[in-house]
Amino acid sequence: MKKRSAKKTTGEQVLMDHVQELRIRIFVCAIVLVIGGIIGYIFYEPILAWLRIPLGQDLYYSSPAGSFNFIIKVSSMVGVLAAVPFLFYQLIMFVQPVFAKKLSIKRVIFYTSGSVMLAMVGALFAFFVILPGALKFFAGFQVPGLSALIDADSYLNFVTNAIVTFIIVFQIPLLMIIIDRIKPISPKKLFSMEKYVILGGLVVSLFVPFALDITTSLLIASPIIVLYNISVVMILIRHAVMRKSPEVMPIAVTQTAEEIALDDALVSDFFAAKAEHVPELQLQSIPDPTPIQSVMKQSSVPAMDVKPSRPVDAEQLRAQARLRREQQIAERVALYNTLPRFRTMTDIR
């Protein structure tokens, strides 16, 4: 009962540690989100001027609190966009211990930096390529005698949807590389799925609310297809590099250095004890080997003396064996202390 209660306590402690870590990471992400929102509130005027570039005209609001609500929405959008890379980093760091063999800390930092760069490229592509084309398409349907008074909230939602959509789309190469890192994907399978990717890109472009014309739909589907093929090429390069220089994976050690040293000492004592029988073998009278009779032409082979050529000291033999084993134990302990430790299922329970 004591062992079961101890295992249960250990499992509960591990679960509580994970929950506490999750709370801390969520709290840190919330702080970053608030800081990003404050920065967006401080610089909302240049941000608003930058957002109006694709539209080229003034924005309007229809409620007394419309201006305040718009400023809060702009600040929130800036805070979320600024916190996305940090949120991505915190998410990977939370699950990183599960994939410690595949995702090291250096790789997490590398993937986070790549995610930030891809997000920036996707946002710029949406803002300077997609938005002008979509706004030009919608402006072509104006009715004579009617003028457009574009609501500030509607325009902000329109811009935000476009930017967020392409930030997600431009993460395709990074996501595929991470998946291939955790569980390798066959390049042949990736090439066979290309037709489904093309079809899926066209379907996604049709359901995007700001892409109602063929040109904008093609501009949305093209990055999906191009980024998928770039991902396949990068995976092929990675597999080729792995074949030339296979990666050495760490070995999971389930014993402590003291336990390993004790096992080695027991083995050393076992072989040292066997050395006590050496004098008995030395005193035995070993007969000469009898030649094997054969129908072949026999050759005269002199009998070989298998007795020791010199007396064997049992104490000296044991001392030499123990010295060699102690040196090996010291080397193994030094090696095992450098390897990472992994929890076993019995420790968790």
The whole-number pLDDT of residue 100 equals 67
- Please tell me the predicted confidence (pLDDT) of residue 295: 46
pLDDT reported for residue 198: 85
Kindly state the tokens that stand for 194: 């290309």
> What pLDDT does residue 248 have?
46
User: How many separate domains does the chain show?
Assistant: 1
Return the DSSP state at 255.
Answer: S
Task: Write out the chain's pLDDT in tens, 349 residues.
Answer: 444 554 455 666 777 877 888 888 888 888 888 888 898 888 888 888 888 888 877 778 777 777 788 888 888 888 888 787 788 788 777 777 766 666 677 877 888 888 888 888 988 888 888 888 778 877 777 777 777 777 888 888 888 888 888 888 888 888 888 888 878 888 788 888 888 888 888 888 777 766 666 777 787 888 888 888 888 888 888 888 877 765 444 444 455 555 556 566 665 665 565 555 555 544 454 455 555 444 444 445 454 554 555 555 667 777 777 788 778 777 776 766 665 554 444 444 4
Is 333 a domain residue?
yes
Q: Which residues contact 221 (CB under 8 A, 6 or more apart)?
A: 198, 201, 202, 204, 205
- Predicted confidence at residue 250, as pLDDT, reads 45
Within a domain: residue 275? yes
pLDDT of residue 346: 42
pLDDT of 277 = 55
Amino acid making up residue 183: K
Cα 297 to Cα 132: distance, rounded to the nearest angstrom:
100
- pLDDT at residue number 296: 46
Please indicate, yes or no, if residue 44 is contained in any of the structural domains. Answer: no
Domain that includes residue 328, residue range = 253-282+312-349
| Residue 268 belongs to some domain of the structure | yes
At position 134, the amino acid (one-letter code) is A
Answer yes or no: is 276 within a domain: yes
Rounded CA separation 123/54 (Å): 13
Confidence (pLDDT) at 75: 86
The answer to whether position 8 is within a domain reads no
Q: Does pTM surpass 0.75?
A: no
Return d(Cα 105, Cα 340) in angstroms, integer: 14
- Would residue 196 count as lying in a domain? no
pLDDT for residue 344: 43
